[in-house]
Amino acid sequence: MTFLGFALIFVSVALSALGQTCFKAGVTRVSFADGAGVLGKAAALLFSPWVLGGLAFYGIGTVLWLFALRRVDLSLAYPFVSMSFVMVVGAGVVFLGEALTLPKLLGLCLIIAGLCVMALDGVR
């Protein structure tokens, strides 16, 4: 795997994780008008600045992902999407005050170990 290919994958996945963090921040900050129907609630969520920011991060991340796929085999690139699990847990702990429990930590260690094994195939 080339350095540029890995960098594109990393930034793309980081932007997706940032997008998820913005989504969570957005949905917890939106207040609905009394008696708002489904469409009113959906509009309030969709036009939340946090949700719009999350969509923007996703969009930019997707474009970078496309450039990464030009340089890296899909079978090697796609497992690195699991880095988003690690990044989202970290963002949840740091920015949203979520708890880092032992089961989460052990799961993250397994994901990281799996990625290290997969990355060995990309070292040439």
Structurally, the chain folds into a number of domains equal to: 1
**Distance between CA 115 and CA 118 in Å, rounded?**
5
Provide φ and ψ at 99, rounded to 5°.
-80, 140
Residue 1 has pLDDT above 70, yes or no: no
User: Would you say residue 34 has pLDDT above 80?
Assistant: no
Q: What's this model's pTM, rounded to 2 decimal places?
A: 0.85
Q: Is the pLDDT of residue 93 over 70?
A: yes
Query: Does residue 92 or residue 40 have the better pLDDT?
Result: 92
pLDDT value at position 87? 95
**Structural domain that includes position 43:** 3-122
Place of tokens 């920015």: 95
Give yes or no for residue 124 having a pLDDT over 80: no
